[in-house]
Amino acid sequence: MKATKFISAAACGLFAATLPAALLAGEAAAVSGGEAMYTVNNTWMLVATFLVFLMHLGFASLEAGMTRAKNTVNILFKNTAIIAIGLLTYAAVGFNLMYPGDFALGSWLGFAGFGIGTSPEDLHILEDGIGVYTYWTDFIFQAMFAATAATIVSGAVAERIKLHGFLVFTVLYVAFIYPWVGSWQWGGGWLDELGFYDFAGSTLVHSVGGWAALAGVIVLGPRLGKYVGGGIRPIPGHNMPLATIGVFLLWLGWFGFNGGSVLSADPGMVSYVFVTTAMAAAAGVLSAMATSWAVTRKPDLTMTLNGALAGLVGITAGADAVSVGAAVVIGIFAGILVVCSILILDRAKLDDPVGAISVHLTCGIWGTLAVGIFAADHSLLIQLLGVAAYGVVSFVAALAIFQAIKLTIGLRVDEEEERRGLDITEHGMEAYSGFEMNTTP
């Protein structure tokens, strides 16, 4: 989702009053020569923004359904806070960190100033002198992506993390780490110069969140009663209908996530991205269903739901660059990988209640590498370099933040709070009042 400009963030700081003469001249050309297409582009980008916003409801529903009833309010609270934190921090610092215009440290780090443009003249994002969409549309679409990385972490660390510790992590990771590493490719940084490609964020969004989720799970440790006597004790989610609704909301929203990343309403490319996105998701559903059925001897709904998400994450890096047949293959392997990853992580005693690490990290890596395998214009070695670079920095940064929180304000609730449930102990309310909550580990 590389922006069609680098000037929008760099030229328009918090106190910007005017735009460069060349931009104003280009605006005039856009008005005279392409106003209709400009309006169509802008409208589609806003519709895509609505769809990405809807994905946060999908994440909230999925995470709540896949965890226990006694922690539902906590899940919903975190997901509500995440979108607000993402929007505000992206406006304050993230947008201009992700799209700095000029890099100060060898294409590794740049910053265009605090805040976003406030002038009514901050209108057209230009491509060859034609208006594509407004500055404000550019900001709000990309701001919707910013909170997703923390939402991924929310599910993985569910049911045992302190609320205030998680919120501190969210602010720091979303405000600084996500946009900084994102600038390496989408902002025109060093990986973009090398030819690394990630269309809509298999690595830049999903793996960045997945690496943080892995760090959080390692620092926190497993939920009480999850691994007993050397065995694995299943802790099923409380509401499979809610989890299923969440996945369908995410699948719907993904059409905006990927389709909006075309960054225009080009009918051919948007339609094509819709098709590759849907086909990969469908293939992920069937391959995860078949794999889990073969391994566990039962048709597991949770694995099948994660198969849909696995296919979606897998195709996100190359939805515009691979063939429809390749999209199906990517989805098939993503569905297989997500099941295997969930089982392997469980045996390694890495407790991820919703399978977020397997969906977003494992399949994010696969999808990014798949671009180098199936798209002739992209190098597998460069894709591998990008995966490694994002992995090292994201994991180390998240690990440092989690450890710092653990040593200062505390990261994990105590055993009694975990047994009673975070809804009562952290929020003083229940999601389903009038029912007796199960307080066993």
Residue 269's φ and ψ, nearest 5 degrees, are -70, -40
Tell me the C-alpha distance between 206 and 217, whole Å.
16
The one-letter amino acid at 296: T
CA distance 219 to 428: 26
Q: Sign of the C-alpha dihedral, residues 78, 83, 87, 93?
A: positive
Here the tokens at position 289 are 């269903």
Residue 31 has pLDDT above 50, yes or no: no
44 falls within a domain = yes
pLDDT tens, 128-176?
445 588 888 999 999 999 988 889 999 999 999 999 999 999 999 999 9
- 51 within some domain: yes
Q: Are 317 and 199 in contact (CB under 8 A)?
A: yes
Domain carrying residue 115: 7-425
For the chain, the farthest-separated pair of C-alpha atoms sits apart, in whole angstroms, at 73
**Distances from the Cα of 390 to the Cαs of 99, 182, 200, 342, 394, in angstroms?**
17, 9, 15, 22, 6
Q: Kindly state whether residue 432 falls inside one of the protein's structural domains.
A: no
> CA 314 to CA 281: how far, in whole Å?
9
Element (H, E) at 28: helix 21-33
As a whole number, mean pLDDT of residues 191-195 equals 95
**Rounded to an integer, what distance in angstroms lies between the CA atom of residue 232 and that of residue 111?**
47
pLDDT value of position 184: 96
Lowest-pLDDT choice from 113-117, 165-169, 388-392: 113-117
Instruction: Look at 419 and 31; give whichever has higher pLDDT.
Output: 419
Q: Is residue 303 part of a domain?
A: yes
**Assigned token pair, 393:** 């920095």
Output the pTM of the full model: 0.89
For tokens 């051919």, name the residue. 268
- The identity of residue 291, as a single letter, is T
Q: Report the SS3 class of residue 212.
A: helix
Q: In this predicted structure, what is the pLDDT of residue 118?
A: 62
Confidence of residue 116 (pLDDT cuts 50, 70, 90): confident
Distance, first Cα to last Cα, the chain: 43
Could you write out the DSSP letters of every residue in 238-296? S-HHHHHHHHHHHHHHHHHHHHGGG-S--HHHHHHHHHHHHHHHHHHHHHHHHHHHHHH
Domain count, the chain: 1
In a domain, 301, yes or no: yes
Phi, psi angles (nearest 5°) of residue 151 = -65, -40
Question: Tokens in use for 183?
Answer: 């600038």
Q: Is the pLDDT of residue 7 over 50?
A: no
Mean pLDDT score of the chain: 88
Domain of 131, CATH number, reads 1.10.3430.10
Query: Given a cut of 80, is residue 441 above it in pLDDT?
Result: no
Distance of alpha carbon 144 from alpha carbon 409, whole angstroms: 29
Count of CB atoms within 10 A of residue 271's CB?
A: 11
Domain contains 255: yes
pLDDT higher than threshold 70 for residue 217: yes
Structural domain contains residue 128: yes
pLDDT in tens, 324-349: 999 999 999 999 999 999 999 999 99
What is the pLDDT, as a whole number, of residue 229?
A: 85
CA nearest to 102, candidates 93, 91, 92, 113: 113
Q: Give the residues across from 231 on adjacent strands.
A: 228
**Residue 434 clears pLDDT 50, i.e. is over it:** yes
Q: What was the pLDDT predicted at 120?
A: 52
Tally of CB atoms within 10 A around 351:
21
5 Cβ contact partners less than 8 Å away, ≥ 6 residues apart: 99, 125, 126, 127, 138
Query: Are 337 and 330 a contacting pair, CB within 8 Å?
Result: no
Evaluate whether residue 112 is within a structural domain.
Answer: yes
C-alpha 187/C-alpha 192 separation (Å) is 8
Residue linked to tokens 């199936």: 374
The pLDDT of residue 103: 84
Name the amino acid, one letter, at 191.
Answer: L
